[in-house]
Amino acid sequence: MTNPAIAAFIKAHQHQMIDFRRDLHAHPELPWEEIRTTQQIAKALDELGIPYRLTTPTGIIAEIQGGKPGKTVGLRADMDALPILELNDDLSYKSHTPGKMHACGHDAHTAMLLSAAAALNSIRSQLPGNVRLIFQPAEEIAEGAREMVNQGAMEGVDNVFGIHIWSQMPSGKVSCKVGSSFASADLLKVSFKGRGGHGSMPEACVDAAVVASSFVMNLQSIVSRETAAQDSAVVTIGKMEVGTRFNVIAENAVLDGTVRCFTLETRERLKTAIERYAEHTAAIYGASAQVDYTYGTLPVINEERSALLAQSVICDAFGDAALMTERPTTGGEDFSFYMEKAPGCFALVGCGCPQKGSDFAHHHGCFNIDEDAMATGAELYAQYAWRYLHQDSF
């Protein structure tokens, strides 16, 4: 069962949680620059009497020590913002820094985890085990989780749980499905080298623009003809730099893109195929190719027992109608690096409400959340930890 004291505490302190979120929203900080954000979290933890240590260069690892021996459950919130111009001109807490914005909800994640921490700390004598609080920087560039793990965030942790606020789901709904949740997110750079020359004499040249265009047009066959129909994959070229002048045939072309999928086997198949397509396309035209494939985040695959536990918590805390099953997203999430170290799961908390203007896509300049959803997220953090620590057979 869920703990009614947790629900009551979060409801009673909901305004403080919203105020904290709004303060962070007004002062967004980009990956590895979250100095003020770290200081604000540390100040809040000091007031609660929860011990913590700072990580380098930003971030915090804290721990609530229960009154009884037991396991350790980790709760993670990310806290970085994005280089996006906020377009919400009517907000009293609009970003104070032009070109920087909390356009993904990490300000809410941080505030929700602090609220959950306060609730759990108020009943810590009843906890059979410990709660590790991970306030993570640099999620947006897929570097923060790995670094937090390197700095000891998962040492001694038996299970890990995370939340992402989700504007594509109605406020009040929560999803934590078994299996695939977020895709792997890799970076792709393809460089073609031809032979430049005057635009009036193509016979003396190897046009890198033609090579690159042919590659882009053929690339989607990797998804449609080399990926199993039961699997999902995305290969996107989002940027192409080619040519220097209208009457000069390009010698070089550089393409940047991303690759997304849900299994490691599909990931390797896509990488091999991309390299083959680039090499053979270049050879057709007499050019050369170089592929730089950078592994980013792993797929987030919710461990079955953890996800089923989360589903049980959702139904008990918010009612059966609150539980929904959101389809896996090909967005990336570096929470996957924590689940390399311990089983766990990752939940989506709906914050979409058209009447409140909170249904814009993540990373949009008008992104905002229905702040009523924060109580749901904070309670879910805390109730998951409570339930996990009381699962003797888990």
Residues of each annotated binding site for Mn(2+): 104, 106, 140, 164, 363
| Residues 344 and 310 occupy one common structural domain | yes
| Residues 31 and 166 occupy one common structural domain | yes
Q: Give pLDDT, residue 35.
A: 98
Percentage of the chain beyond pLDDT 70 is 99
Largest CA distance in the chain: 81
| Residues 198 and 268 occupy one common structural domain | yes
Asked if 324 and 169 touch (Cβ cutoff 8 Å), the reply is: yes
Percentage of the chain beyond pLDDT 90 is 97
Task: State the average pLDDT over residues 295-322.
Answer: 96
Asked if 70 and 386 touch (Cβ cutoff 8 Å), the reply is: no
Q: Give pLDDT, residue 391.
A: 87
| Residues 143 and 262 occupy one common structural domain | no
Is residue 245 one of the residues assigned to a domain? yes
Token duo for residue 128: 């059979």
- The rounded mean pLDDT for the chain is 96
The values of phi and psi at residue 60, to 5°, are -145, 140
Q: Give pLDDT, residue 274.
A: 98
Encoded amino acid at 157, one letter: V
Residues 281 and 289: their CA atoms lie apart, in Å, by 8
The alpha-helical segments, DSSP class H, found in the chain are 4-12, 14-26, 35-48, 106-122, 144-150, 208-219, 221-226, 264-285, 304-318, 373-389
Q: Give pLDDT, residue 393.
A: 41
| Residues 9 and 141 occupy one common structural domain | yes
Residues of each annotated binding site: 104, 106, 140, 164, 363
Residues 222 and 356: their CA atoms lie apart, in Å, by 41
* End position of a domain, from candidates 297, 319, 342: 297
Comparing C-alpha atoms, which of 172, 110, 165 is closest to residue 367? Answer: 165
| Residues 39 and 152 occupy one common structural domain | yes
* pTM given for the model: 0.91
**Any idea what the CATH number is for the domain that residue 225 is in?**
3.30.70.360
| Residues 169 and 277 occupy one common structural domain | no
Asked if 247 and 201 touch (Cβ cutoff 8 Å), the reply is: no
Q: Residue 123, Cβ neighbours under 10 Å: how many?
A: 17
What is the extent of the structural domain holding 315?
4-182+299-389
Taking the CA atoms of 202, 203, 204 and 209 in sequence, report the sign of the dihedral they define: positive
To the nearest 10°, the Cα dihedral for 122, 123, 125, 127?
Answer: -130
Asked if 4 and 101 touch (Cβ cutoff 8 Å), the reply is: no
Number of domains in the chain: 2
Comparing C-alpha atoms, which of 194, 189, 211 is closest to residue 274? Answer: 189
Query: How many Å is the Cα radius of gyration of the chain?
Result: 24
| pLDDT tens, residue by residue, 11-57 | 999 999 999 999 999 999 999 999 999 999 999 999 999 999 999 99
Asked if 165 and 367 touch (Cβ cutoff 8 Å), the reply is: no
| Residues 290 and 306 occupy one common structural domain | no
| Residues 195 and 170 occupy one common structural domain | no
List Cα–Cα distances, 269 to 204, 217, 264, 282, 312, in angstroms: 37, 19, 9, 20, 37
| pLDDT tens, residue by residue, 244-296 | 999 999 999 999 999 999 999 999 999 999 999 999 999 999 999 999 999 99
Is residue 394 one of the residues assigned to a domain? no
* End position of a domain, from candidates 275, 297, 319: 297
Is residue 288 one of the residues assigned to a domain? yes
Residues 351 and 365: their CA atoms lie apart, in Å, by 16
Comparing C-alpha atoms, which of 385, 319, 392 is closest to residue 72? Answer: 385
* End position of a domain, from candidates 297, 331, 346: 297
